[in-house]
Amino acid sequence: MLDLRRIREAPEEVLRALHTKNPNLELDEILALDARRLNLLQESEKLKALRNTESRAIAEAQKAGQDAAPRIAAMREVGDRIKAVDGDLKEIDERQHDLLMRLPNTPHPAVPVGRDERDNVEVGSWGEKPVFTFTPRNHLELGEALDILDFPRGAKIAGSGFPVYKGAGARLERAIINFMLDLQTLEHGYTEIFPPFLANRESMTATGQLPKMEEDMYHAVKDDLFAIPTAEVPITNLHRDEVLPGESLPVRYAGYSACFRREAGSYGKDVRGFLRVHQFNKVELVQFTRPEDSDRTLEELRGHAEEVLRRLGLHYRVLALCTGDLSFSSARTYDLEVWSPAEGRYLECSSCSTFTDFQARRGSMRFKDKGGKPQILHTLNGSGLATSRLIVALLETWQTADGGITVPPALRPYMGGLERIA
RNA sequence: GGAGAGGUGACCGAGUGGUUGAAGGUGCACGCUUGGAAAGCGUGUGUAGGGUUACACCUACCGAGGGUUCGAAUCCCUCUCUCUCCGCCA
């Protein structure tokens, strides 16, 4: 949520920033409602002040044995008037709040201006595209030949896009998750969280999935709970409606979760194997920082995500997303894209973002220094990482001519020392 | 799922419908006292919104939302969460 005061005081500036994300956004109705709201609010408060003083006077009068009936009658009218004004006020408030909740975050000034993913800017890369002396197989062929992945049976159980990992594949998946968690907690200083995989409406609203993305999520109607599309939701909401001690910042959490996405409207795109799935595994990094620290923290977070790919020996590049490609809540995002030798292209496997005060304002997440006032903090997060595209790149990059897979050295301790899957 | 008890400020804990933003205590901050500390004494100590150049001041908030009333932390309804017992269960 954007600061209403900021919209009120500098609407052109806010609008200009919003338009770099989406040229169709407008603030007219919000501003019009704001003017009416302030009017009504002042009227309501004036009437309430009158009611308060009169009520006290009535009590005094009655104590003194005077007849207060006429004053009570007058106050009854004031009461009715208050009810009417407050009714209007509530309606306007709700409408304005709804509009406000549908406005995206404004981009950070450093974000390249652009329309869509074609305008993203490559800002870094690591490693080289692997060269093979044979024709590399894709992850589906490898997974099937080695009997470690079973998409058809996953489709039978739940539907397409619900992968089954088997044998060494299942163990590999678990190894990757454990490796990533250990790296982030033991070496990068994150506290491990194992969160709920379902979250309520309030939580989904705070991080920005609601109200606009309801169609993209699995929804348990009976309980009005949503399957989390990312652990960002439960982990960020850990501190919703809280005031953290200033000295406790930055707070850093890393957590594993399964992630669920309906991917509505994306049928026909990337349907093969792991390229686009409805359920996948991810270790998510979340940080809560002071406002002045969030820029620096984003770079640091990106480094923590990159380290996973480096240790697994996977070639990747880093993109700075342009304004038009930023997500709803994000002010600035780096995507990590890992190289898939069989696909011959880069696949997104991490997204590191700063949300500035956008999520924190929606979820009332604040900090307070000793003797100071509560202030809105900043939230950031990044995948560290998602395993689905990662495992595509890993299988394809580490495959050998005989159709087997070399287990990357970093994962061997997590595979009981196993060096090859064959 | 059934029965019962309860949600008051950073914390504990009062609160007959009428200056109760809320007694008392603890904690915290500042000051006095002291060679220094403890104890003691004094003062202060919520959030949000409106308003003001800045103060003042006004409004709201005692789990959430409605209702009754001139007036609600106090009465009524709904929801929610916590605890205890029973049932079911990985």
Domains and CATH numbers, chain A: 28-101 (1.10.287.40), 117-421 (3.30.930.10)
Q: Which nucleotide is nearest to A80 (CA to C1')?
A: B70
Which phi and psi angles does A303 have, rounded to 5°? -65, -40
Contact A342, A220 (CB under 8 A): no
pLDDT under 70: residue ranges of chain A? 265-269
Q: Which residue is nearest to nucleotide B47 (CA to C1')?
A: A374
The single-letter code of the amino acid at A306 is: E
* Residue pair A74/A55 in contact by the 8 Å Cβ criterion: no
- Please name which of A113, A116, A107, A117 lies closest in space to residue A358, comparing C-alpha atoms: A107
Return d(Cα A365, Cα A209) in angstroms, integer: 17
Gap between the Cα atoms of A394 and A130, Å rounded: 11
Which bin fits A258, alpha (ψ -120 to 50), beta or left (φ > 0)? beta
**On chain B, which bases lie within 7 A of the protein's CB atoms?**
18-19, 29, 47-51, 58-60, 66-67, 69-71
pLDDT of residue A268: 65
Residue A402's pLDDT is: 94
Q: Which are the catalytic amino acids of A?
A: 261, 276, 348, 351, 389
Give CA–CA dist A242/A364, Å, rounded.
Answer: 7
Distance (Å, rounded) from C-alpha A13 to C-alpha A7? 8
Q: Are A127 and A316 in contact (CB under 8 A)?
A: yes
pLDDT on residue A142: 95
Q: What is the ipTM of this complex?
A: 0.87
**How do beta strands A198-199 and A225-227 pair?**
antiparallel
Between CA A360 and C1' B75 the distance (Å) reads 38
Query: What are the structure tokens assigned to A74, written together?
Result: 């007058």
Cis-peptide, bond into residue A211, ω within 30° of zero: yes
Cα A123 to Cα A309: distance, rounded to the nearest angstrom:
16
Which residues, at least 6 apart from A311, have a Cβ–Cβ distance to it below 8 Å? A179, A183, A408, A410
CA angle A296, A302, A307 (to 5 degrees): 130
The reported pLDDT for the residue numbered A277 is 92
CA at A119, C1' at B42: how many angstroms apart?
A: 67
Long-range contacts of A40-47 (CB under 8 A, 24+ apart): A40/A85, A40/A88, A40/A89, A40/A92, A41/A89, A43/A85, A44/A82, A44/A85, A44/A86, A44/A89, A47/A78, A47/A81, A47/A82, A47/A85
pLDDT on residue A267: 67
Cβ atoms of A26 and A49 within 8 Å: the answer is: no
Cβ atoms within 10 Å, residue A414: 19
How many whole angstroms separate alpha carbon A43 and alpha carbon A208? 34
DSSP designation for A40: H
Q: What is the DSSP letter of A399?
A: B
pLDDT tens for A355-397 read: 999 999 999 999 988 778 889 999 999 998 999 999 999 999 9
A49 CB contact with strand B at below 7 Å: yes
> What are the strands, taking DSSP E only, across A321-373?
332-340, 345-354, 365-368
Return phi, psi of residue A168, to 5°.
-60, -25
Give the CA-to-C1' distance from A104 to B64 in angstroms: 28
Closest Cα partner for A314 from A381, A395, A382?
A395
